[in-house]
């Protein structure tokens, strides 16, 4: 069996460690990742391998030579990257192939993997490992006999129903290798494996219980270093030739490499001090990386996950804030506080909430950087930006700096921004008022792949204030929006609507577009999420769900189809059948939600239109609806959530939700994108039925098997 090692990646998330160094040469406990791998191969009886190289190929080949650690090496250099499968195909010698990642740190027994592959008769064997946080890995799902049933590529937590990570260790049969086109860019995980699975080929998972680390970024490198030290029975490692000054404290998880020097009175915790680095007296370095050749004066402070690149010269009393990365050979003067990355971009934590809310961005500089990242990630010609204030200006400038044109709707409300984005032909919009919302104009959500691209761009991009694209005044679309609402409103509405909202623009548009009629007084209240609404009459409170059902009835009267979010009331589907209309459940990336699902003013207009057309009050219209109890809860996520979801909610998947039905109640369960909570939505005939189903879900989440749900 041939062994091929993939060693051509740039390792951008690990910069500045990999700015000048191939990722396989990054050291773990004083030994490069590739040396560890070669020793592991030798221990498993493998004596030769082919390395596929690209980034800094000369340095890698010079460092390893024709033989290293008892393994004979050949090299296949890619001038143009061909993807994982494409480069292995270029190095293939005609037999089965063991494919390895040159930067993986693991204890896999490759002989056992090869034997499993032979005995199972597999076309492909993938080594899998259970992980605590699955979001940053390609995942696999398995059935009986460890046969692979599906793939998930770095999903959001709401999509994780497995905790089995693809380690990048494969055995590929020669029959599969023949299928891979020569000289074409092809990827195993994205191209080859899904196609084989669709054809019913035999793909198996070898689930390994030894250690495995993907040292993809600085936090994972620090974690790998700390845990390997613990596995070796060590709390720290000071390699011979390193010096540690008087009264310095070197705490657990720290590695100080050969030739490095740490000054007296310093405190080093769970950090990497690379060879030839010199740290002055009184330093405080916590979970950080100092690359080789760095020279730093006294009083250096480095906070968690920060990094100083190779040969940096740092003055005295310098502070490097959390997550900040400094490019190689940078000079930092005395007393500086380094708050953002130098030459490579800010490592600030960026995340997305459930409704497109952008989390972890504070201050205009961060908002500008987010605009740059969003424009770069989408590579869109135009994006609509609504909202007001400095945030509107900062995100617009950031988008334009990334070369993305902006349709600016200054002062627009949320629903108005969605409407304008659609009318202007923009696939996405940004809403900036009291925070940032970045979402698809169709579904008010982003695919995880787009979220991830934006996060990565935010963490890597340099700041660049040169505007490369223009802002176009989109106020004409706002005029269309007001005319659209006026057209929906009946001339003599049967209710007298008023609105409660914290958005001044919504209140202003409401006054312009809505007629005041005779009859029932109704107050519509807009929630803080900017899209859900409830109604208050003299005698009743009408829920958002009931208002959505009435909007659907309004559409059906007009012979219009409806596109709803997955969790909209199920009654709408039955009403559509009775009216010979149609309801589509939109999902992320598909369909365009009906505007009343996105815009409170549209919803109010549709409800007003419906009750006027019927000639009845809103209370009477609501009284006609089925008596359904709607329950929404947020639950803390238990430890080991992916495994629990897979084992205790097996076969209950419906899109991004887990759906359970029992005793007149139907529940939708979805992990939050953070993985720290679960969103629970229940429709039931009574509070008691909802309580019973809630209890069943709680039992399942605790690890106990629940009762069998109805089909």
Choice between 361 and 537, residue whose per-residue pLDDT is larger? 537
Placement of tokens 């579904």 in the chain: 443
pLDDT score recorded for residue 709: 46
DSSP symbols for 151-165: EEES--GGG----EE
Give me the phi and psi of 537, to 5 degrees please. -105, -175
Structure tokens at 466: 């040169």
- Residue where a domain stops, chosen among 338, 369, 388: 338
Q: Residue 525, SS3?
A: strand
For the chain, what's the residue count? 711
Choice between 302 and 8, residue whose per-residue pLDDT is larger? 302
Under the banding of pLDDT at 50, 70 and 90, the label for residue 136 is low
What is the Cα gyration radius of the chain?
A: 29
Angle at 310 between CA 308 and CA 315, to 5 degrees: 55
| Burial track 503-534 (b if 16+ CB lie within 10 A, e otherwise) | bebbeebbeebbeebeebebebbbeeebbbbb
Under the banding of pLDDT at 50, 70 and 90, the label for residue 465 is very low
* CA-wise closest residue to 683 among 701, 706, 659: 659
- Write the CATH number for 256: 2.160.10.10
pLDDT at 292 over 70: yes
Q: What is the mean pLDDT of residues 687-707?
A: 76
pLDDT score recorded for residue 431: 94
Instruction: Report how far residue 80's alpha carbon sits from residue 65's, in angstroms, rounded to the nearest whole number.
Output: 23
Instruction: Report how far residue 553's alpha carbon sits from residue 102's, in angstroms, rounded to the nearest whole number.
Output: 60
* CA-wise closest residue to 193 among 252, 242, 150: 150
Q: What is the mean pLDDT of residues 605-630?
A: 89
Instruction: Report how far residue 617's alpha carbon sits from residue 198's, in angstroms, rounded to the nearest whole number.
Output: 54
pLDDT score recorded for residue 602: 93
Helix, strand, coil content of the chain in percent (nearest 5): 30, 30, 40
Structure tokens at 581: 């209309």
Q: Is the N-terminal amide bond of 449 cis, ω within 30° of 0?
A: no
pLDDT at 262 over 60: yes
Angle at 229 between CA 225 and CA 230, to 5 degrees: 120
Instruction: Report how far residue 612's alpha carbon sits from residue 606's, in angstroms, rounded to the nearest whole number.
Output: 10
Q: How far is CA 442 from CA 159, 420, 425, 570, in A?
A: 20, 12, 11, 21
pLDDT score recorded for residue 56: 83
The alpha carbon torsion through 119, 121, 126, 131 (nearest 10 deg) reads -60
Structure tokens at 171: 């055995």
Q: Looking at the domain assignment, is residue 305 inside a domain?
A: yes
The reply to whether 619 and 633 lie within a common domain is: no
Under the banding of pLDDT at 50, 70 and 90, the label for residue 645 is confident
- Write the CATH number for 682: 3.30.310.50
pLDDT score recorded for residue 452: 81
Contact present, 286 and 269 (Cβ < 8 Å): yes
The reply to whether 61 and 145 lie within a common domain is: yes
pLDDT score recorded for residue 647: 75
Boundaries of domain holding 444: 351-476
Instruction: Report how far residue 406's alpha carbon sits from residue 308's, in angstroms, rounded to the nearest whole number.
Output: 36
Contact present, 134 and 90 (Cβ < 8 Å): no
Contact present, 102 and 75 (Cβ < 8 Å): no
pLDDT at 423 over 90: yes
Placement of tokens 């191969």 in the chain: 41
Q: For residue 241, list its beta bridge partners.
A: none
* CA-wise closest residue to 110 among 122, 96, 121, 99: 99
pLDDT score recorded for residue 707: 52
- Residue where a domain stops, chosen among 195, 214, 233: 214
- Strand 164-172 to 97-101 pairing: antiparallel
Centre a 10 Å sphere on the Cβ of residue 577 and count the other Cβ atoms it contains.
Answer: 10
Q: What is the mean pLDDT of residues 374-386?
A: 89
The reply to whether 271 and 407 lie within a common domain is: no
State CA 9 to chain mean position distance: 21
The reply to whether 466 and 505 lie within a common domain is: no
Q: Looking at the domain assignment, is residue 483 inside a domain?
A: no
Instruction: Report how far residue 25's alpha carbon sits from residue 5's, in angstroms, rounded to the nearest whole number.
Output: 13
Percent of the chain with pLDDT over 70: 92
Number of structural domains, the chain? 5
pLDDT score recorded for residue 121: 86
The reply to whether 243 and 330 lie within a common domain is: yes
Q: Residue 562, SS3?
A: strand
The reply to whether 65 and 49 lie within a common domain is: yes
- Write the CATH number for 443: 3.40.120.10
The reply to whether 652 and 618 lie within a common domain is: no
Q: Looking at the domain assignment, is residue 74 inside a domain?
A: yes
| First vs last C-alpha separation in the chain | 48
pLDDT at 232 over 90: no
Instruction: Report how far residue 255's alpha carbon sits from residue 252's, in angstroms, rounded to the nearest whole number.
Output: 9
Burial class (CB in 10 A: 0-12, 13-18, 19+), 11: buried
The secondary structure of 697-711, three-state, reads HHHHHCCCCCCCCCC
The reply to whether 550 and 465 lie within a common domain is: no
- Residue where a domain stops, chosen among 476, 507, 536: 476
The reply to whether 575 and 637 lie within a common domain is: no
Instruction: Report how far residue 211's alpha carbon sits from residue 639's, in angstroms, rounded to the nearest whole number.
Output: 20
Instruction: Report how far residue 428's alpha carbon sits from residue 447's, in angstroms, rounded to the nearest whole number.
Output: 12
DSSP symbols for 389-408: HHHHHHHHHHHHHTT-EEEE
Half-sphere exposure of 506 (CA within 13 A, CB side): 26
Give me the phi and psi of 132, to 5 degrees please. -75, -45
Lowest mean pLDDT among 150-164, 364-378, 681-695: 150-164
Contact present, 277 and 292 (Cβ < 8 Å): yes
Lowest mean pLDDT among 63-67, 245-249, 303-307, 349-353: 349-353
- Write the CATH number for 103: 3.90.550.10
- Strand 203-207 to 124-130 pairing: parallel
**pLDDT tens digits, one per residue of 490-501:** 888 888 888 999
Q: Looking at the domain assignment, is residue 522 inside a domain?
A: yes
Structure tokens at 95: 């037999």
Q: Looking at the domain assignment, is residue 408 inside a domain?
A: yes
Instruction: Report how far residue 272's alpha carbon sits from residue 310's, in angstroms, rounded to the nearest whole number.
Output: 13
Lowest mean pLDDT among 437-451, 536-550, 588-602: 588-602
Instruction: Report how far residue 317's alpha carbon sits from residue 282's, in angstroms, rounded to the nearest whole number.
Output: 9
The reply to whether 19 and 52 lie within a common domain is: yes
* CA-wise closest residue to 371 among 355, 387, 143: 387
The secondary structure of 332-381, three-state, reads ECCCCEECCCECCCCCCCCEECCCCEEECCCCHHHHHHHHHHHHHHHCCC
Q: For residue 633, list its beta bridge partners.
A: 680
The reply to whether 205 and 68 lie within a common domain is: yes
The listed range with the strongest mean pLDDT (147-151, 174-178, 329-333, 342-346) is: 174-178
Q: Looking at the domain assignment, is residue 401 inside a domain?
A: yes
The reply to whether 331 and 363 lie within a common domain is: no
Contact present, 644 and 130 (Cβ < 8 Å): no
Q: Residue 73, SS3?
A: strand
């Amino acid at each position: 069996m041939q062994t091929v090692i993939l060693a051509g990646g740039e390792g951008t998330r690990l910069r500045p460690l990999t700015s000048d160094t191939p990722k396989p040469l990054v050291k773990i406990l004083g030994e490069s990742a590739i040396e560890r791998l070669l020793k592991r191969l030798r221990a498993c009886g493998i004596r030769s391998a082919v390395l596929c190289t690209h980034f800094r190929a000369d340095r890698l080949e010079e460092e390893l030579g024709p033989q290293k650690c008892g393994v004979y090496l050949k090299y296949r250099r890619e001038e143009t990257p061909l993807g994982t499968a494409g480069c292995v195909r270029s190095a293939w010698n005609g037999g089965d192939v063991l494919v390895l990642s040159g930067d993986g740190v693991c204890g896999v027994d490759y002989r056992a993997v090869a034997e499993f592959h032979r005995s199972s008769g597999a076309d492909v064997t993938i080594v899998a490992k259970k992980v605590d946080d699955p979001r940053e890995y390609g995942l696999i799902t398995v059935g009986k006999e460890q046969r692979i049933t599906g793939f998930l590529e770095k999903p959001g937590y709401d999509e994780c129903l497995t905790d089995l990570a693809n380690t990048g260790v494969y055995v590929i049969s020669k029959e599969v290798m023949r299928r891979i086109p020569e000289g074409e860019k092809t990827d195993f995980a994205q191209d080859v494996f899904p196609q084989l699975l669709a054809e019913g080929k035999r793909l198996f998972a070898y689930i390994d219980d030894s250690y495995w680390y993907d040292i993809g970024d600085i936090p994972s490198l620090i974690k790998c270093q700390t845990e390997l030290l613990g596995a070796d029975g060590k709390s720290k490692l000071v390699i011979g030739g390193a010096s540690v000054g008087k009264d310095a404290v070197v705490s657990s998880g720290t590695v100080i490499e050969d030739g490095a020097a740490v000054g007296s009175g310093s405190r080093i915790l769970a950090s990497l001090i690379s060879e030839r680095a010199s740290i002055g007296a009184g330093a405080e370095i916590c979970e950080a990386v100092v690359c080789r050749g760095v020279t730093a004066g006294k009083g250096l402070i480095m906070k968690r996950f920060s990094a100083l690149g190779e040969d940096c010269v740092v003055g005295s009393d310098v502070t490097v804030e959390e997550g900040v990365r400094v490019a190689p050979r940078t000079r930092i003067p005395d007393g500086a506080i380094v708050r953002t990355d130098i030459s490579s971009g800010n490592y600030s934590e960026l995340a997305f909430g459930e409704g497109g809310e952008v989390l972890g961005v504070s201050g205009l500089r961060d908002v500008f950087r987010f605009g740059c990242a969003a424009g770069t990630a989408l590579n869109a010609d135009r994006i609509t930006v609504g909202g007001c204030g400095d945030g509107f200006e900062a995100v617009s400038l950031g988008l334009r700096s990334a070369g993305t044109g902006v349709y600016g709707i200054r002062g627009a409300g949320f629903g108005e921004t969605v409407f304008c984005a659609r009318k202007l032909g923009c696939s996405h919009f940004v809403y900036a008022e009291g925070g940032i919302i970045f979402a698809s104009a169709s579904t008010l959500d982003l695919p995880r792949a787009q979220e991830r691209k934006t996060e990565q761009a935010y963490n890597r991009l340099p700041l660049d204030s040169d505007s490369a694209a223009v802002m176009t005044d989109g106020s004409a679309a706002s005029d269309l929006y007001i005319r659209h609402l006026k057209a929906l409103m009946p001339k003599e509405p049967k209710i007298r609507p008023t609105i409660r909202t914290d958005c001044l623009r919504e209140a202003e548009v409401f006054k312009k577009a809505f007629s005041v009629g005779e009859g029932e007084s109704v107050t519509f209240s807009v929630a803080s999420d900017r899209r859900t609404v409830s109604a208050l009459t003299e005698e009743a409170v009408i829920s958002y769900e009931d208002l959505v059902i009435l909007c659907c009835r309004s559409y059906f009267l007009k012979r219009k189809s409806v596109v709803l979010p997955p969790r909209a009331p199920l009654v709408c589907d039955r009403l559509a059948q009775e009216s010979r209309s149609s309801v589509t459940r939109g999902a992320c990336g598909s369909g365009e939600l009906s505007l009343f699902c996105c815009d409170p003013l549209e919803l109010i207009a549709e409800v007003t239109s419906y009750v006027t057309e019927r000639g009845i009050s809103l209370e009477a219209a609501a009284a006609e609806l089925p008596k359904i109890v709607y329950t929404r809860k947020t639950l803390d996520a238990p430890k080991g959530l992916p495994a629990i979801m897979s084992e205790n909610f097996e076969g209950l998947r419906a899109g991004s939700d887990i759906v359970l039905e029992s005793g007149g109640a139907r529940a939708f369960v979805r992990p939050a994108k953070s993985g720290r909570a679960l969103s629970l939505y229940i429709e039931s005939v009574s509070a008691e039925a909802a309580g019973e189903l809630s209890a069943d879900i709680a039992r399942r989440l605790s690890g106990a098997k629940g009762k069998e749900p109805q089909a």
